Amino acid sequence: MNILFVCTDNFTRSVVAEFCLKHYIKENNIDSIKVASAGVRANSDTSKYSSIHFDRMKELNIDTSSFKRTPFKHEFFEHYDFIIAMGIEHKKYLEETYGKKIHLFNEILLGEETSLVVPPPDKDGKYLLEINKMVDTLHEAMPLFVVKLKELQVKRKLKSIDFSNLKTEVVSLVLDDMLQHIGSTDGELRDEHIYTTFGKLILGDYLTSDQMTSILRICLSKEYLFYEIGEINRDSGFKRAFSSLVITLILIKDKQQSFLSTETVRETMNLVISYMQQEKDVRGYVDGKGWAHAIAHGADLLDAVVNHPSFSIVKAREILNVIGNSLLCNDIYIDDEDERLTVPVVSLLQKGISEETIIDWLISLFKETHDGLQLNDFRKRTNLSNFFKTLYFHFLFKNSGAMIRQTIENLLKNKQGTVITSL
């Protein structure tokens, strides 16, 4: 990946970005990134410009011995994978002059259409502080910047896939990239590109049985489905939630053409149940990062398990218990989690579980929550009430589960003890 930073004179901002990134990739033995810088007027007189930033980089042990100002040229568009402007004025100038879209540094790093600003010289010393601050900021930003660059590269790759002429070697590279970034905090990359591409590849017969089996084993591992399991409100939740979606796709595909071994399916089902017992991150949509939705995705996964030909009705109670465990959390669901959690219950009835089994389970959930007076008890009752109502109409629309519907009516109308108060 070839990177070019651009500013006005190729003396301050783009130079600091270049050498901070060179320092980072050298310190971390990254040989896949090459970096340079240029200026839109790199032939200007800089003899009176301050060199404070070079002094600060020297203090940080950043080698700038290869510094050389370079005028921007049209052929750079062919040589560099990403041309990155340090300021909005540089981006606007290059796009208007050459008619090509380029990226803004803060756009990549922060998702903001803002400039990295160099303060004007002054007499009271603020210039020194601000320039040093700029160098330190760029130096410290490079680990995250490299992550964002790689994500941008993956996004570009996925957008360019031609499914009408997809080559084997391209598939292998894309799979590695998608698995590496499946837990990205970039919602667009994670949801619109990685998950969508996995869906097309798995369900569209682009992958071999061995490839899908390998992907399944990776996604079921401690580094994916069980990565930091039990933690809440952390970015690791994205990796777990989207690993579960890929597992769902593979189980759906195996239902269609049966390529997984009996032992692999059995192990997958057990791990799925174990995962849902341990998942505590109940976030739906996360501002700035997109959908986490681990519980909703987990419900989809449970439904794929129930609808798999190898599913045994003996495991029905385990499925119901993990659904109940998800419902009785201390947060109120607001992003249709209750709707998604009803689906595997409906599927269980269709698979042959008795209405009596589901009724016993519903009553046990009601008894567990109906008389608590704490805030968490109220939240559990709210989730359960919403779940009961959604389940009721699921069965009503399908004209099935008459006994279950009657039980739900009785529970919601219950006059003994505390009624579910969210009605």
- pLDDT 10s digits, 38-80: 999 988 888 888 889 999 999 999 999 999 999 999 999 999 9
Note the maximum CA span of the chain: 87
Residue 126: pLDDT over 90: no
Tens of pLDDT, residue by residue over 277-333, are: 999 999 999 999 999 999 999 999 999 999 999 999 999 999 999 999 999 998 999
Count Cβ atoms within 10 A of the Cβ of residue 222 and give its class: 0-12 exposed, 13-18 middle, 19 or more buried.
Answer: exposed
Structure tokens at 154: 């993956």
| Rounded distance between C-alpha atoms, residue 389 and residue 336, angstroms | 12
Residue with tokens 């269709």: 350
Given CA atoms 391, 396, 399, 402 in this order, what sign does their dihedral have? Answer: positive
Q: Provide the 8-state DSSP code for 117.
A: P
Residue 368: pLDDT over 70: yes
Residue 346: pLDDT over 70: yes
Q: Could you give phi then psi for residue 303, rounded to 5 degrees?
A: -65, -35
Contacts of 174 (CB under 8 A, 6+ apart): 157, 158, 161, 197, 201
For residue 389, which amino acid is it?
K
Tell me the percentage of the chain whose pLDDT exceeds 90: 84
**Beta carbons of 350 and 399 less than 8 angstroms apart:** no
Mean pLDDT estimate for the chain: 93
